[in-house]
Homo-oligomer: A and B are copies of this chain.
Amino acid sequence: MEDQVYVGVDLGGTTIKVGLCDHQGKLLNTYEGPTGTEHGSDVVLDNIAQYVRKLVDDSPYEWEQVAGIGAGFAGFMNIPEGIVKLAPNLGWRNVPVKQILEAKLGKTVKIDNDANIAALGEAWSGAGAGIANCVCYTLGTGVGGGIIINGRIYQGYNGTAGELGHMNVIPDLESIDCGCGKRGCLETVSSATGIIRMAKEAVERGEHTSLALVPNITAKDVFDAAKTGDEVALRIVNRAAMYIGKSMALISVILNPQRFIVGGGVSKAGDILFDAIRKHYHACAQETAREGVDIVPAVLGNDAGIVGAAGLNLRG
């Protein structure tokens, strides 16, 4: 097994990134090219196949050493059968990715959603390396999640395990509608979208904040303002962090993972975010359930998806 390598495919709306990993999840080399979304799924899948062959050709490894290929998608899918049921950013419906790519490449192909593969990447050779049970948050436009049990992605009964952004943790009195059809979901507050919304609302209310001078507020603007001591920005950061901490406290009495890993664009805010998450987690979590449990930043950055996709054939 040690001379086998694994290919990961991270499929974005404009760019396809592919990467080669060794059996321990070390990223050996990468390649990328345009997705070609506008030409439809046949062309996109052709592009994937071409980039994967190029990736391996450019590496010191032989095609025969490739033990499997994994690919991550944003959307809904039938994971066991490898069918992308709905990928809004690609405009796909019911594309049998596994079957098509296996025919084109002659290798086992597995697929999963982007939050799960990012979690698996971190668990395999990132911030969770060597940890059997961890829970990963991806704080971006929404809040994604992945549950790792015994080193593998845990899918649940119909593939919706780890949908942490849809934990109902916001009290009814302060809750707003979520895109999922419910109210009070974590991601309405603790995603970049939620942080931006809270900042805009504060500005609209005429609160005294440096954010009033920012034309198109981003989550980074809010964190930057908080770092300069802006009270309104600090309150928003604290609120986003509080509900993440509360959701982790809930998870601790359900799953009692050893480690929480937090990645995604919002996590780049660094200590100001992590210190607040840890403070609220500590305040909310039951004492025995949080003993020895830590909360750490993801370390693989944008590579987490490629690495995790590559890992699907070992730990999917």
Contacts and interface: CB of A to CB of B under 8 A. Distances in A.
B161 A250 contact: no
Interface residues of A, number: 42
A160 interface: yes
A171 B163 CA distance: 22
Interface string A6-28: 00000000000000000000000
A65 interface: no
A228 interface: no
A76 B159 CA distance: 33
Interface in A235-276: 246, 249-258
A100 interface: no
Contacts of A166: 253, 286, 289
Nearest to A165: B253
A158 interface: yes
Interface string A26-55: 000000000000000000000000000000
Nearest to A184: B284
B149 A252 contact: no
A172 B147 CA distance: 28
A149 B289 CA distance: 19
Contact of A156 (B167, B250, B255): B255
Contacts of A80: none
B250 A160 contact: no
Main SS of the interface on chain A? loop
A83 to B, nearest CB: 16
A291 B171 contact: no
B256 A157 contact: yes
Interface in A133-168: 133, 147, 149, 154-164, 166-168
Given A171-B172, A172-B171, A249-B168, A255 B288 contact: no
Contacts of A249: 168
A254 B253 contact: no
Given A149-B149, A182-B284, A246-B168, A157 B293 contact: yes
A213 interface: no
Contacts of A284: 168, 182
Nearest to A288: B160
Interface in A281-316: 284, 286-289, 291-293
Given A158-B256, A250-B250, 16 more contacts: A149-B154, A156-B257, A157-B256, A157-B257, A157-B292, A160-B252, A160-B256, A160-B288, A161-B253, A161-B255, A163-B286, A164-B253, A164-B254, A167-B253, A182-B286, A254-B255
